[in-house]
Structure 1
Amino acid sequence: MKPNYQVHEDMYVEARQAGWEGWGGNERMSKAVLVDRFLELCERPQKGKLLELGCGEGHHCRAFQELGFSVTGIDISPTAIAWAKEKARVTGTEGNYYTADLTAESLELPERYDVVIDGNCLHCIIGADRAIFLGNVYRSLSENGAFFVSSLCSKDENSYETYRNNTPYRHVTSQSGLIVELEQAGFQVLYVSVYERETSNHITVYAIKA
């Protein structure tokens, strides 16, 4: 069954109509856990061009920009991108934001980046689209560029899909399955951290373009 990535646009429209600060509600927007986990890495880039995939309304991008990175954010949702541009203006932060489908084989990104951040986007990508997505990431990186993945993760060695309205919605990967996917796409995995949660775990992976 083909996934419906348009659901993310629908959910951003709903978030704005509800008066939330961003995806998932105001409490989720009050902290940038992904950024903190990236900063914990010892060998991470300290500056450079950074691209966030699935940037939403841009709260991670704004945090990275304040740390000295030159940021670009991509999302499939036009509402999310309009929201990110609006918040950038209001907060006086710099950044480039644009709408794109990261599963399109014809995707041409405007430049090469030193760091690509998966802003909990990869677990939204289903089936064969995942290899296309990772290929686009690989081509977007400069030589030895860093790829930081933040994703749902299963509690065992089984990967599976969750469904929303009878349509594939999330790919909950196993730790080993994600590492294999990254290595097959040409990345060298350097660090892996798994965070225990109730239903499914969360995983971060730091890899470089090999």
Structure 2
Amino acid sequence: MPSILTPSIDFLIKQLHLKGTEKILDLACGFGRHSLEFARRGYDVTGIDITPAYIDYANEQAKKENLNAKFICQDIRTITFDKEFDVVLNMADGAIGYLEDDGENHKIFLSLRKH
């Protein structure tokens, strides 16, 4: 049975011209709904969120479904990957735009350039 997320994931795949081999970074992933759906379709996904309970849940789901997805509990302003991803997403409400001020939001974009 299709997920409620199927239309939005289909839209992203089409608009971003994804082939299925891309590595995806999902910022402020929450419970990992979008990340898990991408992983179900064969993408290699990493989700980042600051809330431990969300990350625990997402990792449990990925393990239960044997998906190629990992979830890390971290503030998205402090991630330190180095050119590891083909696509960076911030879905649903995400965190960008909700931080203390524009300077804090800008830190995320500066960090994203590296990933």
Structure 1 and Structure 2 fold alike (TM over 0.5): yes
Shift of 1:44: 2.1
**Contact between 1:75 and 1:100, CA under 8 Å: does it hold in 2?**
yes
Choose 1 or 2 for highest CA Rg: 1
RMSD, matched Cα: 2.0
**Contact between 1:57 and 1:87, CA under 8 Å: does it hold in 2?**
no
Runs of 4+ in 1 over 2 A off after TM superposition: 123-126
Equivalent residue, structure 2, for 1:90: 64
TM-score, normalised to structure 2, is: 0.80
Separation (CA, whole Å) in 1 of partners of 2:85 and 2:40: 17
**1:129 aligned to which of 100, 104, 109:** 104
Of Structure 1 and Structure 2, the greater strand share is in: 1
Separation (CA, whole Å) in 1 of partners of 2:91 and 2:85: 15
Partner of 1:139: helix, strand, or coil?
Answer: coil
Shift of 1:110: 6.2
- Answer 1 or 2: higher relative contact order, Cα 8 Å, separation at least 6: 2
Partner of 1:134: helix, strand, or coil?
Answer: helix
| Residue type of the alignment partner of 1:97 | F
Partner of 1:40: helix, strand, or coil?
Answer: helix
| Residue type of the alignment partner of 1:99 | C
**Contact between 1:34 and 1:119, CA under 8 Å: does it hold in 2?**
no
Question: How many pairs does the alignment contain?
Answer: 108
Separation (CA, whole Å) in 2 of partners of 1:34 and 1:124: 22
Q: Which structure 2 segments of 5+ residues have no match? A: none
Of Structure 1 and Structure 2, the greater helix share is in: 2
Equivalent residue, structure 2, for 1:15: none
Q: Which structure 1 segments of 5+ residues have no match? A: 1-29, 141-210
**Contact between 1:45 and 1:115, CA under 8 Å: does it hold in 2?**
no
